[in-house]
Amino acid sequence: MTKGDIRRRRRLVLRVLLCSFFLLMGVSIKFALGALREPPRPAEIREPHLRVEVARIQPEDVQVEIAGYGEARALDVVTISPKVAGEIIDVHARLEVGEVVAEGDLLFRIDSRDYEAARAQAQAQVDRITSMLTLLRQQFEIDRERLETYRRTRDIALEEFERDKRLYEEEDVGSQSIVNLSEINYRKALDAFEQVDQAITLYPLRIREAEHGLEAATAALELAQLSFERTEVRAPFTGRVKQVQLKVGQNVAPGAPVLTLANDTVLEISVPLDSRDARSWLMFQDPAPASGDTANWFGALEPVSCRIRWTEDPDDHVWTGVLDRVERFDPMTRTVSVAVRVAADTRRAEGDGLPLVEGMFCEVAIPGNTLRQVYRLPRWAVTFSGHAYVAENGLLRRRDVVVARNQGEEALVSEGLRPGELVIVTRLLNPIPGMRLEYEAPDGETPPRETEAAS
């Protein structure tokens, strides 16, 4: 055996010894570490608990609030139009949109010269007919006095004619010419009497005709005076200018709208309500005894106080209005519109005194009838399928409930719950009846422990 073979054998033996050493070391370390490790403790599996908030409920009487929306509008809005034609010669100094004008202020003036001349002409006609009527009445009195004279003259002429005729025919005194002359005098006296008598008969007709003429002339004078007065247009009330289409030098025609005034010291809000809410909850006054009124319409509403909020700022400003009347029923939308009136002394909100003005879109809460002995719950505490959940002996229980009305963020429950129960007011996702609960009751009560619940 050569030296090279001996060296290779030695290296092989050395390698085997080293591998055996390291293998023994690894096995020793494994057993040493295994001796140091403790066996795992058995895990304690607890039944899951659901953390919730609860509220103890008691039945109570709750007044229903009917919510609706509407726009505030002025109670009186008047469109002013001139009643006579002409040129505008004067306009109120503050006749601008948004300005307030006082009652009786001159809004604008129309050139009145034509109407003043027409008034003077009508006055002259009245004076002329008045004078003529006075003369007729005086002449009537004079002619009635003259009639007696003409009657006496007629009678004397008749007596002379009869005497001359009798003397000539019976006693042959006088002549035919004297008789004829007496007859002619009689005929003249008779004609004069009949003319005056006929004139007196016609005087009442002439006087009545003149009186009618005077009435017509007086009416024409009043119309001319009215037209003259209408050249000045004054504010019918203290109001705000909403629209104006007027300037000096403008020619206007009768009936053409030139100005709109709004009397917004008193406002109204027309609030459409669902007809079912109106039927169920609006408070109507007791009907008055039968008085022959056969109008088929809603009765008078109770004038309850309503809360008004501006939708642009619903939290900071509140006004008060009074329910006034039912305005209309819309068969298309099945809504009943009611009018809520806001008086001048309640038009400013508390705090900074922001006024309720025309055009604000508002939410109106109208008090209605009272629900008796119902449970007030958060709206989310009742499911869409009509279930509520209660805590009973630390466990989740389901109740089938009847919701009398959903009002804002509240549900008013009339059936399905008992006084004193703890209702879960936490929003639940897939609740399972029988689950264990953790909660703090309002009166300090805590749910029973597991052992108590199990027993």
Angle at 124 between CA 120 and CA 125, to 5 degrees: 120
CATH superfamily of 114-229: Helix Hairpins (1.10.287.620)
Q: Quick one: tokens of 20?
A: 């055996």
Compute φ and ψ for 381, nearest 5 degrees: -80, -10
C-alpha count within 13 angstroms, C-beta hemisphere, residue 41: 3
Domain with CATH 2.40.30 in the chain: 263-286+298-371
> Radius of gyration over alpha carbons of the chain, in Å?
55
Condensed to tens digits (0 to 9), the pLDDT of residues 155-187 reads 787 877 777 777 777 777 777 777 778 778 878
Domain with CATH 2.40.420.20 in the chain: 54-61+372-454
Residue 262 above 50 pLDDT?
yes
What class does CATH assign to 54-61+372-454? Answer: mainly beta
- Model pTM score: 0.64
Domain with CATH 1.10.287.620 in the chain: 114-229
Condensed to tens digits (0 to 9), the pLDDT of residues 336-346 reads 999 999 988 77
Q: Quick one: tokens of 370?
A: 């009272």
What CATH number should be reported for the domain whose range is 263-286+298-371?
2.40.30
More confident residue, 296 or 338: 338
Quickly state the pLDDT bin for 89 (edges 50, 70, 90).
very high
More confident residue, 422 or 31: 422
More confident residue, 272 or 43: 272
Cβ burial of 104 (10 Å; 0-12, 13-18, 19+) is exposed
Could you give the C-alpha distances from 314 to 63, 234, 309, 335, in angstroms and in order? Answer: 22, 39, 5, 24
- Written as one letter, the residue type at 263 is N
